[in-house]
């Protein structure tokens, strides 16, 4: 998850995350996993504020340097 520097501070990341959560729930997904970077402090904070915790990397990304995977179960 990444928001371009010139678009930050407008709540776009929060709206994107809310939309992803809603769409995943609509599709009856059991969990949400987000891929961001360790240096994306705002994205990590946003995800954690929504209940996400560190999870195992998604297949094919287990050796991606600086990657961080955050997830949570969906109701």
CATH at 46: 3.40.630.30
Answering whether pTM is above 0.85, one says no
- The confidence score (pLDDT) of residue 29 equals 96
pLDDT for 18-69, tens place per residue? 999 999 999 999 999 999 989 989 999 999 999 999 999 989 888 888 999 9
Selection from 16, 22, 74, 19 nearest residue 43 by Cα: 16
Task: Find the domain containing 54 and state its range.
Answer: 5-73
Query: Nearest 5°: phi and psi at 2?
Result: -150, 135
Number of domains in the chain: 1
Phi-psi region of 64 (alpha: psi -120 to 50; beta: other; left: phi over 0): beta
């Amino acid at each position: 998850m990444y928001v371009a520097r010139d678009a930050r501070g407008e709540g776009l990341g929060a709206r994107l995350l809310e939309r992803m959560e809603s769409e995943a729930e609509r599709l009856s997904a059991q969990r949400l996993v987000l891929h961001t970077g360790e240096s994306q402090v705002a994205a990590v904070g946003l995800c954690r504020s929504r209940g996400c915790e560190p999870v195992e990397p998604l297949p094919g990304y287990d050796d991606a340097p600086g990657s961080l995977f955050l997830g949570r179960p969906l109701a």
